[in-house]
C-alpha cells in the first residue's frame, strides 16, 4: 500500500530508524548470526535496517517495499552494493523463490496490508527450514477489529491472538516475545523460527 506523506514522515524519521536497528541488533545477539547469510527486509522504507545489516554483518540483504518512492529514496541514501539490493515488492505476492532466506525482518508492515495472512504464507514460503522471522507490529483488541475493519479497506486491524495463530499454522515456533506500549498503541515484538518440516 502507498503511504501518505504524513505516514512517510513518521516512519522515515532517523530516531525511528535507530530504534529499529537497535532492536534488530539486540535480537541478532540471541541468534546464531554466523548461520544467517541471506536476509529479506519487508517494508524496508528508506533502507536504514537493510543497509546496517549489509554493512555491519556483511549479510546479503534484499530490502523490499511496495512504495516505489521509498525504494528510490533507499537507493539514493543507502546505495546498493554487493551485499545490499532493493526492489519494489508486494509482501503478499513476493517474487523470490521458495526457501531463499535465512532471516526475514518485518517491522510495522503487516497493519498496512489488507491481506496480512497472505504475507504470513509468503514469509513461510521464502524462509528456509529453521529460518528466523523478526516481527514487530501493532495489534488491536478483537472488538476494535470487528467494529472498524469493515470500514477500512487498505489496512488490517488484527488482534494478537490471530497473528500468533496464523504463524503457528504456517509452522512457526515463538522464540522471543516483548510487548511494547506507546500511549494508546500496543506493539508486539517477536522472533519466530520456521520448523524444519514446513
Instruction: Give the CATH number of the domain where residue 178 resides.
Output: 3.40.50.150
Cα(39)–Cα(60) distance, integer angstroms: 6
Q: Which of 139, 5, 127 is nearest to 67 (CA)?
A: 5
> Per-residue b/e over 156-184, b at no fewer than 16 CB within 10 Å?
bbbbbebbbebbeebbbeeeeeeeeeeee
Give burial (CB, 10 Å; 0-12/13-18/19+) of 75: middle
For residue 144, what are the domain limits?
5-194
CA distance 67 to 56: 26
Note if the pTM is more than 0.85. yes
Domain count, the chain: 1
What tens-digit pLDDT sequence spans the chain (198 residues)?
566 665 655 566 678 789 999 999 999 999 997 889 999 999 999 999 999 999 999 999 999 999 999 999 999 999 999 999 999 999 999 999 999 999 999 998 998 888 999 999 999 999 999 999 999 998 776 655 565 555 566 666 778 889 999 999 999 999 999 998 876 678 889 999 999 875
**Packed helices 48-57 and 14-28: angle between N→C axes, nearest 10 degrees:** 40
Amino acid at each position: 500500500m502507498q503511504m501518505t506523506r504524513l505516514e512517510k514522515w513518521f516512519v522515515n524519521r532517523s530516531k525511528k530508524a535507530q530504534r529499529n536497528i537497535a532492536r534488530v541488533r539486540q535480537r541478532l545477539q540471541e541468534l546464531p548470526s554466523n548461520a544467517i547469510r541471506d536476509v529479506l527486509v519487508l517494508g524496508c522504507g528508506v533502507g536504514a535496517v537493510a543497509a546496517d545489516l549489509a554493512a555491519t554483518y556483511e549479510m546479503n540483504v534484499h530490502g523490499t517495499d511496495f512504495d516505489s518512492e521509498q525504494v528510490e529514496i533507499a537507493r539514493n541514501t543507502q546505495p546498493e552494493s554487493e551485499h545490499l539490493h532493493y526492489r519494489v515488492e508486494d509482501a503478499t505476492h513476493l517474487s523470490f523463490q521458495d526457501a531463499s532466506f535465512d532471516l526475514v525482518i518485518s517491522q510495522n508492515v503487516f497493519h498496512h496490508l489488507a491481506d496480512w495472512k497472505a504475507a504470513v504464507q509468503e514469509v513461510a514460503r521464502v524462509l528456509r527450514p529453521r529460518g528466523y522471522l523478526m516481527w514487530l507490529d501493532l495489534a488491536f483488541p478483537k472488538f476494535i477489529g470487528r467494529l472498524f475493519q469493515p470500514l477500512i479497506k487498505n489496512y488490517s486491524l488484527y488482534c494478537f491472538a490471530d497473528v500468533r495463530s496464523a504463524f503457528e499454522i504456517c509452522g512457526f515456533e515463538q522464540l522471543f516475545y516483548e510487548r511494547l506500549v506507546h500511549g494508546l498503541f500496543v506493539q508486539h515484538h517477536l522472533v519466530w523460527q520456521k520448523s524444519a518440516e514446513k
